[in-house]
Copies of this chain bind each other. A is one copy, B any other.
Amino acid sequence: MRVMIVGGDGYCGFATAMYLSKRGHEVAILDSLIRRHWDNELGIESLTPISSTGKRLQRWYELTGKRIPFYMGDACNYPFLVNAVREFGPDAIVHFGEQRAAPFSMIDREHAVLTQVNNVVGTLNLLYAIRDECPDCHLVKLGTMGEYGTPNIDIEEGYITVEYKGRKDTLPYPKQPGSFYHLSKVHDSHNIMFACRIWDLRATDLNQGVVYGVHTAETLEMEDEVLVNRLDYDETFGTVLNRFCIQAAVGHPLTVYGKGGQTRGFIDIRDTVRCIEIAVDNPAPKGKMQVFNQITEQFSVLQLAEKVVEAGKALGIRAEINHVDNPRIEAEEHYYNAAHTRLLDLGLQPHFLSESLLDSLLNVAIHYKDRVDPAHIKPVTTWSVGRISG
């Protein structure tokens, strides 16, 4: 299969590009590198030292003999996007190319607008490009479990069958997202569902949970630092479990926001890449947006912190838990039960969160701990008034 990965230089994107390339797919990356620019803008850096995209792809070629063409540019730039799509001719487009951090979108009005315009326009452009250039191409779009919020009923996979006043219908699952970023993904979902319906396109919306981990089979096997994946520990782009491990490694108390009863779905990055492959291998029927909840387990934030404390002990780390004022506005205790059987039914064999994964992640964090700038650990972006000075 010819798979174009939009946002293929990012945390999930690059891991996916290597995985699919290794498994015999023809892969191309389309990326504007804006994520690296945002690092510069915020004065932050990946814990792991990441190489330039060109160097990464060159090394990948040297080690595997596989070429991954790189289209450098922005999916919001339609002429560029159309040319890339026309030239590469994808069977599937995997779309990671969005601003993906809730705190980034809450910094101020400009970042809220940037996030929504960037994400909505990029996805609209992809839908038009597919309609006009490759109408059979399957769009695999990264959504987020955060679209659902925390309703007091079970979360289903994208749609819910409701019986109401003696009638019945299957409807899009109601969305209650918790940031301007999460809202942008809800907007995307509605746009994609509509485009599939009117243009007979096929799309899979992967509502992914919080991703953790850094190594995938490819990076472990190659043992080459040029291929190392990014690992964010800053309050803006760092995801919670990765952050906790890095905090533990540098002796920083684990920053549990508020009570820590916030429960979410989680997934190991090794499962992320496999889920993308499963989605690519199982295109939605024409005219449909199918939705998979891309998680393997659910935990509360406090449960995760406790697991990191435990795993730390074995490595001689005495991590402490610090309940900091919650910068977000969210329920800190709530019902949560999210369906996630569709990817399992299609063959996903999950890597559940284990002591050994935590060990490995803690060891990566210890290895690079001199690169940690403690100034970027504390939350400084609040939902009420935006970014406050640290």
Number of copies: 2
A191 CA to B112 CA in the complex, in Å?
10
Asked if A154 meets B164 with Cβ closer than 8 Å, knowing A120-B120, A171-B174, A190-B183, the reply is yes
In the complex, what's the smallest C-beta–C-beta distance from A220 to chain B, in angstroms? 40
Which B residues are CB-close (under 8 A) to A117?
A: 117, 120-121
The residue among A109, A167, A193 with the most chain B CB atoms within 10 A of its own CB is A109
Which B residues are CB-close (under 8 A) to A173?
A: 174
Pick the residue among B120, B172, B176 that contacts A187 (CB under 8 A): B120
A168 within 8 A of B: yes
Interface size on A, residues (CB 8 A): 46
Which B residues are CB-close (under 8 A) to A116?
A: 120-121, 124, 187, 191
Asked if A121 meets B113 with Cβ closer than 8 Å, knowing A169-B152, A190-B186, the reply is yes
A104 within 8 A of B: no
A78 within 8 A of B: yes
Name the CB-closest residue of B to A198.
Answer: B329
Which B residues are CB-close (under 8 A) to A152?
A: 167-169
Which B residues are CB-close (under 8 A) to A335?
A: 167
Task: List, sorted by A's number, 28 A–B pairs whose CB atoms are closer than 8 Å.
Answer: A109-B124, A109-B128, A112-B128, A116-B120, A116-B124, A117-B120, A120-B187, A152-B168, A153-B162, A153-B167, A153-B168, A153-B169, A154-B167, A160-B164, A160-B174, A162-B164, A171-B174, A171-B176, A172-B174, A174-B174, A175-B190, A177-B194, A180-B194, A183-B194, A187-B187, A187-B190, A198-B329, A198-B383
Given A120-B120, A180-B194, 11 more pairs with CB closer than 8 A: A113-B121, A120-B187, A152-B169, A153-B171, A154-B164, A160-B164, A160-B174, A162-B162, A175-B190, A197-B329, A198-B384
